[in-house]
Structure 1
Amino acid sequence: DRNGNPVDYQTGPIIWGEPGTNGQHAFYQLIHQGTKLVPCDFIAPAISHNPLGDHHAKLLSNFFAQTEALAFGKSLETVEAEFAAQGKTPEQVKHVAPFKV
């Protein structure tokens, strides 16, 4: 605290991340699948300063998909239906679905 005494609570945020898809299999996977709740702010620029065809639109699509998946996830029923539509057997669905919810 301000008097030099130890505290038993978190005293400040951790700020980290990566732009766009660079953090997908590192930070975002931790946020989606980790065991600790990680409060997040996702920030996306509306206008690109380096326009490269439809690159910015694709990155924004990924941004919205990541935030939607984190906010709402998928139910077991939805995942099972998606796997069944892909032609997976009931045994495969039963085995794999719990790892996607």
Structure 2
Amino acid sequence: MTETKQVEWNLHLIKAAIGMAGLTQTKIAKSAGLQAWQVRHGLRGNNLQGAKAIAKAIGVPFRELFPNSYLRGDVEPIRKATESTSAKRHRRTDAMRGAA
């Protein structure tokens, strides 16, 4: 019996699949009613709607295309600003100075 190996999708393979389908990221965005930036961000794991549009456009199941992204279900991640990046950096620097 022949075993089929599942493709391990990455940024370059997804872009190649888009091109082989005769599409561009902008065309995918327009056909899905999205902005082009949403598809670009979806490709990198930062926009759920963009990622879904890509999967639909190239005909690959969403979870197969993005197995390690968007793990919170059907909602986009909610980022709460609890502490600024600079405050975290200063706290980390202070901790390192105290350890030295």
TM-score bucket (shorter structure): under 0.3
Report which structure shows greater RCO (CA 8 Å, sep ≥6): 1
Per the normalisation by structure 1, the TM-score is: 0.22
TM-score (ref. length: structure 2): 0.22
Instruction: Decide which structure has greater helix share.
Output: 2
